[in-house]
């Protein structure tokens, strides 16, 4: 019982700060995406490919979450993005409090979209609201097609699922229709995009999705 009470207090405090973050993002009229996936699924590659396509069109900020190093942040900075690195020092997810601490160092008013690359993990980040508009899960074909039912929480919580590394399908035993079907069973409202961030397949649909969400956010601000 004590453990349950402590976890509830932690979650309640996180939700309180997340609401404050969400208010700040809304006032700035900036779209915020929380990207969750396993390590190696292609989050940073997706950001690089996205920045190559929209860097001159939109003002992009990136918040990078990692246990240590700024290697991923260095990669997106090389593509022209500004942002901040958060190292958790062993923690398996970002929290709303961590995001709140860095907001003062970001020019939200001039940004169109903020990408939050969460710590690589399908479990811990799934229930932590950061104040984002969109919680998205990225699943790569190299991880196996059993993940939605093995780690259902994030697929239930996400409003967007991206199936990445589709260029490798011919070399893998990955049933992409099965995966899409299981995601739809877990979360009928979840939108699903299929792409290869490295080769570029399906990236146009992803960029169009971002444009539409930004227009929607600015229209509601």
Check residue 193 and give its pLDDT. Answer: 98
In this prediction, residue 2 has a pLDDT band, given cuts at 50, 70 and 90, of low
Q: Residue 221 has what pLDDT?
A: 63
Residue-level pLDDT at 4: 63
Write down the domain spans for the chain: 2-215
| Region 122-126 average pLDDT | 95
CA angle (147, 148, 152) in 5-degree steps: 115
The reported pTM is 0.95
Q: Which CATH architecture has domain 2-215?
A: 3-Layer(aba) Sandwich (3.40)
| Sheet of 134-140, strand order | 82-87, 60-66, 113-117, 31-37, 134-140, 160-164, 191-194
pLDDT for 3 equals 57
Main-chain phi, psi angles of 86, to 5 degrees: -120, 120
């Amino acid at each position: 019982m004590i453990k349950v009470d402590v976890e509830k207090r932690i979650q309640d405090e996180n939700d309180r700060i997340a609401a404050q973050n969400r208010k700040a993002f809304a006032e700035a009229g900036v779209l915020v995406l929380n990207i969750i996936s396993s390590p190696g699924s292609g989050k940073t590659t997706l950001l690089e490919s996205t920045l190559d396509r929209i860097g001159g069109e939109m003002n992009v900020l990136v918040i990078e979450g990692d246990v240590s190093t700024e290697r991923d942040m260095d990669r997106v900075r090389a593509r022209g993005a500004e942002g901040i690195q958060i190292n958790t020092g062993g923690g398996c997810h970002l929290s709303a409090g961590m995001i709140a601490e860095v907001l003062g160092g970001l020019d939200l008013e001039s940004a169109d979209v903020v990408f939050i690359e969460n710590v690589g993990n399908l479990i811990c980040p799934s229930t932590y609201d950061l104040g984002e508009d969109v919680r998205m899960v990225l699943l790569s074909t190299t991880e196996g097609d059993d993940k939605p039912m093995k780690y259902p929480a994030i697929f239930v919580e996400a409003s967007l699922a991206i199936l990445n590394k589709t260029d490798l399908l011919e070399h893998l035993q990955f049933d992409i229709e099965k995966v899409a079907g299981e995601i739809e069973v877990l979360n009928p409202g979840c939108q699903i995009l299929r792409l290869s961030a490295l080769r570029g397949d399906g990236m146009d649909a992803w960029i169009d999705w971002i444009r539409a969400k930004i227009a929607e956010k600015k229209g509601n601000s």
